[in-house]
Structure 1
Amino acid sequence: ATETLRAFVEKHAVPVAETQAGKGALPWDHPLQQGAIGVTGSPAANALAREADVVLAVGTRLSDFTTGSHSLFAQAKLVNLNVNAFDALKWRSVELIADAKAGLAQLSLAAGAWKSTTDWETKAKKGADAWRADIERITGKRDVALPYEGEVIGAVQRTAPDSATRDIVVCAAGTLPADLHKLWRTAAPGGYHMEYGYSCMGYEIAGGLGVKMARPDREVIVIVGDGSYLMLNSEIATSLLLDQKLVIVVLDNHGYGCINRLQQACGGAPFNNLFADSVQGRSGAPKIDFAAHAAAMGALAENVKTIRELEAALKRARAADRTYVVCVETDPNRTTEEGGSWWEVAVPEVSDRESVHKARAAYEDGKRQQKS
């Protein structure tokens, strides 16, 4: 349905925002492509969503992350095009039960010569241009003391001039899905494979192997946090057994950085998510050599410290004839600040902590903005 979507967008001057599952349906550099929407959304997409009179949802389940827990575009009339009647009727929308390709084609015929206003189209294009410039700035940083996900994503894509059309990135859990949703640039359908329905830690490497078996002609890049890697990594050995090369980038922030930040966002004190603030025995926190571990399974592997070292290692990984693992230390406290929207995570009503009181007030404000 991607070509039908593009034709619809260009004929009617309708800006497009992407869900996790829909990323790549329209190329990242299309003038009307606003990028990710929702809790992990771009400033461009979320700004338009908050102002829209009508939102056309195509093939989406309208989950919490897509809708900002149903607060992001609560003011808009919702037209829901979905082959699944259960999803099509959500939030009292106008139901269009059809295949996305057939439905968009028929909707375009029914709309005739209608298109959005010149002001709306111009605003959308300016917002999209500004966001693409932000992506370049965020991912383009090389000289940082301790990298974070956005800078790693930039390094991965810079190491191949055809990354946007040839790479398939695979991920599942932690902070990475948010930053990849915002910052990964893909120009081809299927260039972005995210298990984000349940955010299953450990899916990444096994899922990447499946993707490589399905698309042996593409470069499969698995980007995984240290927590997920430790949960399930044995398919590295299987990838060598089957001669299915993966490029695996491990981001080692020494714990569960995403949940550590969520604890604090809800007003709590950080505990038991990073090795540094976890309960420890006499031996202290483990010092894990991820490259040595991967090499023990037969992969080529190395540990790096900086973005420049990461880029050099990834060039070697892309040129290699077998699965190659590169581990880089990352900052557990930084994430992409641009964009995003409210997400309903309950906060206690009663607490001795002032930070909890502030978090509760923000939670109640978000609740008031939800679609009822």
Structure 2
Amino acid sequence: MVERKATTTERLTVGQALVQFLAVQHVERDGIEQPFFGGAVGIFGHGNVAGLGQALLQYRKDFRLYQARHEQGGVHMATGYAKMRNRLGALAVSTSIGPGASNMVTGAATATVNHLPVLCLPSDTFATRRSGAVLQQQEYAYSGDLTSNDSFRAVSAFFDRVSRPEQLPSALLEAMRVLTSPAQVGAVTLALPQDVQAEAFDFPTRLFRPRTWYVPRARADVAALRRAAQVIAAAQRPVIIAGGGVIYSEASAALDAFARSTGIPVGVTQAGKASLPFDHPQMVNALGASGSQYANKLANEADVVIGIGTRYTDFTTASNTLFRNPDVQFVNLNVAEIDAYKEAGLALVGDAKVTLEELTELLSEYSVPAGYRAEAEQAAADWRGEVDRIVEVTGGPTLSQAEVMGIVNAQADQRSVVVNAAGSMPGDLHRLWRPGTPKGYDLEYGNSCMGYEIAGALGAKMGDPSRDVYCFIGDGTYLMAHQELLTAVQEHLKLTVLVVDNQGYGSIAALSESRGSQGFACRFEYRGADGQLSGDRLPVDLAANAASYGATVFEASTAEELRQALAKSAEVENTVVIYVKVDEQGRFGGSGAWWDVPVPQVATEESTIAAHAEYEREAASQGLYL
């Protein structure tokens, strides 16, 4: 950084002070120290171009700026980065006032839902009020201090508005406390009035000294550990649910030791998918509404469910229908108290890694019954065989989505990362993908945010440039947010993007059909002579769009063409887009679990009436876990 004089204060603008502070923040866990911020992502406009933008210009050699093409995409880049860094690294995201700022709200929600550190720095209205609410005329008759930026309050782990320079130090320190908190972490929003950004103040130089934030590994209460060990030791058919907390606490080795020692099968959520190797003997793999019938059958009959780093989302619990044993008990290990107490479970509030190690010691004499261990290991092996069957290329006229995934997975190496977020692909990837390492699988499914894919993949690549990153994105999602392809090309950060075209919103079309709504308005079609969306399919050239950004584009319609495209892409240093059409009806068997999507109680459509009758039958199995 800039050489400092031996003074106690330094006169800087708020924007300059903020950038200098961020540049010297470090984080340490397990004795490993590293810079916390990898730079900033920004789009300049009215509100930040001459404030924070000037500061980023002034200190550009010490704090890198990445351009984004959409404000939401900028936050998604930061989210992907934080995932790859196991929450031990973050990016700041700066935007202009008004719509530029409010475009970030969805991204902030996605980061907070996934408990990932992202620093949002939206510009705000003039603190002096000498000028009007320029470019965001959200004025309220009942409040003079409310702006559109207050919408961030609902989606942030911490929110503050810096209305005076003197407020900046405390705001920054609180921001860092939350960003580095294992339990409270999420998006942090510091709203920055545009006049305050440019205002000068004599800041104490102590604020700009390098500071290290120590990330603790909290240990669970000893008495709670003993109670948990007693519950597990009495179990005959226990099941582990491994969530994202296993990945972020780097607890895979501890989980491996615990599972091997006890013989307890491990099912995984989307966030916890890569907790154990795909072929681990206790790994029954994907569980829940997007899981497999093999893992879900074990969960149906479990007498003890051990949730590790999971929030028991609706998908994981199959809308509270998955755990059918009337006497089932829950033991929940989570760093966040709010999640540890879910399902009225016995709560172990602590870090997954160290708590699992301590639990393994307490259960050193315990193993599941031999018959149950053999049953679980056979279920794991049977599912691996089923995956081989599903992804095998059958030679049909059009590739299925599963076949495409199998071909790409075979091409990827052990350190490759796959990124996806929404539609039908998360369910398929959850069941079919074989990740090589704990960081090899990045599925944003906490917020199921369409548009995360390309920007999140870019963030993952920024977080670890040594890894190959494969991004799966459907044609419907691609049309929502593809702009960050240009950023990837600009930064020479190679992505391999698979644009999988199933002719519209294929996932919702299938869901709509299954719920009696006939796939209405889910395909991309012209308006027909009958006045409905019933005409020919729209001729959209997504490959040409990708090429216009400077990406290297290949098209594939057969298995051999896809393999050749992947082989060619491996030789290209530029970002690659592979466009492949798939069979829009090409689906494979279900999970054996239910997902609650209410169907109208009254209707005139016969399809809806029939779907409601089925809904009533399925909903009858829902229960409250007490």
* Structure having greater relative contact order (Cα 8 Å, sep ≥ 6): 1
SS of alignment partner, residue 231 of structure 1: coil
Structure 2 counterpart of 1:228:
477
Q: How far off is 1:108 after superposition? A: 1.8
SS of alignment partner, residue 166 of structure 1: coil
8 Å contact from structure 1 (residues 74, 370) kept in 2: no
Q: Does structure 1 residue 173 correspond to structure 2 residue 422?
A: yes
Structure 2 counterpart of 1:311:
563
Q: How far off is 1:126 after superposition? A: 0.8
SS of alignment partner, residue 141 of structure 1: coil
Structure 2 counterpart of 1:344:
596
Larger Rg belongs to: 2
**Alpha-carbon displacement from aligned partner over 1:112-140 (angstroms, at most 9, x marks no partner):** 31110111110011111111011011112
SS of alignment partner, residue 193 of structure 1: strand
| C-alpha distance in 2 between matches for 1:142 and 1:244 | 35
SS of alignment partner, residue 295 of structure 1: helix
8 Å contact from structure 1 (residues 142, 307) kept in 2: no
**Alpha-carbon displacement from aligned partner over 1:241-274 (angstroms, at most 9, x marks no partner):** 1010000000011100111111111112222111
Residues 281/355 of structure 1: CA separation in 2 closer, same or farther (3 Å cut): closer
Q: How far off is 1:340 after superposition? A: 4.2
8 Å contact from structure 1 (residues 146, 330) kept in 2: yes
Residues 213/78 of structure 1: CA separation in 2 closer, same or farther (3 Å cut): same
User: Which amino acid counterpart does residue 499 of structure 2 have in structure 1?
Assistant: V
TM-score (norm 2): 0.57
Q: Does structure 1 residue 87 correspond to structure 2 residue 87?
A: no
8 Å contact from structure 1 (residues 179, 335) kept in 2: no
Q: How far off is 1:364 after superposition? A: 2.1
**Alpha-carbon displacement from aligned partner over 1:300-352 (angstroms, at most 9, x marks no partner):** 10222112211111111122111010111112223231424100110111123
**Alpha-carbon displacement from aligned partner over 1:200-247 (angstroms, at most 9, x marks no partner):** 111100111000011111110000000111111111111111010000
| C-alpha distance in 2 between matches for 1:277 and 1:116 | 59
| C-alpha distance in 2 between matches for 1:271 and 1:282 | 10
Q: How far off is 1:276 after superposition? A: 4.0
User: Which amino acid counterpart does residue 168 of structure 1 have in structure 2?
Assistant: V
Q: How far off is 1:47 after superposition? A: 1.0
8 Å contact from structure 2 (residues 416, 436) kept in 1: no
Q: How far off is 1:77 after superposition? A: 1.2
Residues 174/195 of structure 1: CA separation in 2 closer, same or farther (3 Å cut): same
Residues 28/50 of structure 1: CA separation in 2 closer, same or farther (3 Å cut): same
Residues 281/120 of structure 1: CA separation in 2 closer, same or farther (3 Å cut): closer
Cα RMSD after superposing both structures: 1.8
Residues 55/277 of structure 1: CA separation in 2 closer, same or farther (3 Å cut): farther
Correspondence for 1:130 among 361, 366, 382: 382
Correspondence for 1:206 among 436, 455, 466: 455
Q: Does structure 1 residue 34 correspond to structure 2 residue 284?
A: yes
Residues 89/239 of structure 1: CA separation in 2 closer, same or farther (3 Å cut): same
Q: How far off is 1:296 after superposition? A: 1.1
Q: Structure 1 stretches of 5 or more lacking a match?
A: none
1:1-372 maps to which residues of 2 (within 5 A)?
1-75=251-325, 76-160=328-412, 162=413, 165-276=414-525, 285-372=537-624
SS of alignment partner, residue 270 of structure 2: coil
User: Which amino acid counterpart does residue 428 of structure 2 have in structure 1?
Assistant: D
**Alpha-carbon displacement from aligned partner over 1:161-189 (angstroms, at most 9, x marks no partner):** x3xx2210000010000000000001310
| C-alpha distance in 2 between matches for 1:359 and 1:106 | 49
| C-alpha distance in 1 between matches for 2:381 and 2:534 | 54
**Alpha-carbon displacement from aligned partner over 1:127-154 (angstroms, at most 9, x marks no partner):** 1111101101111215121222211101
User: Which amino acid counterpart does residue 101 of structure 1 have in structure 2?
Assistant: K
8 Å contact from structure 1 (residues 37, 45) kept in 2: yes
User: Which amino acid counterpart does residue 198 of structure 1 have in structure 2?
Assistant: N
User: Which amino acid counterpart does residue 440 of structure 2 have in structure 1?
Assistant: G
Q: How far off is 1:48 after superposition? A: 0.5
Q: How far off is 1:159 after superposition? A: 2.2
- Higher mean C-alpha displacement, 201-210 vs 261-270: 261-270
**Alpha-carbon displacement from aligned partner over 1:264-304 (angstroms, at most 9, x marks no partner):** 11112222111248667999643122222111111110222
SS of alignment partner, residue 479 of structure 2: helix
| C-alpha distance in 2 between matches for 1:196 and 1:183 | 16
| C-alpha distance in 1 between matches for 2:447 and 2:308 | 21
SS of alignment partner, residue 275 of structure 1: coil
Q: How far off is 1:74 after superposition? A: 3.9
Residues 277/287 of structure 1: CA separation in 2 closer, same or farther (3 Å cut): closer
Percent identical: 41
More helix by share: 1
8 Å contact from structure 2 (residues 304, 329) kept in 1: yes
Q: How far off is 1:368 after superposition? A: 2.2
Q: How far off is 1:51 after superposition? A: 1.1
TM-score (norm 1): 0.95
| C-alpha distance in 1 between matches for 2:389 and 2:535 | 42
User: Which amino acid counterpart does residue 339 of structure 1 have in structure 2?
Assistant: S
- Higher mean C-alpha displacement, 359-368 vs 193-202: 359-368
User: Which amino acid counterpart does residue 560 of structure 2 have in structure 1?
Assistant: R
- Higher mean C-alpha displacement, 43-52 vs 13-22: 43-52
Q: Structure 2 stretches of 5 or more lacking a match?
A: 1-250
Residues 283/276 of structure 1: CA separation in 2 closer, same or farther (3 Å cut): closer
8 Å contact from structure 1 (residues 80, 96) kept in 2: yes
- Higher mean C-alpha displacement, 194-203 vs 100-109: 100-109
| C-alpha distance in 1 between matches for 2:445 and 2:590 | 21
8 Å contact from structure 1 (residues 28, 186) kept in 2: yes
| C-alpha distance in 1 between matches for 2:336 and 2:534 | 55
- Higher mean C-alpha displacement, 345-354 vs 321-330: 345-354
| C-alpha distance in 2 between matches for 1:339 and 1:214 | 33
User: Which amino acid counterpart does residue 89 of structure 1 have in structure 2?
Assistant: Y
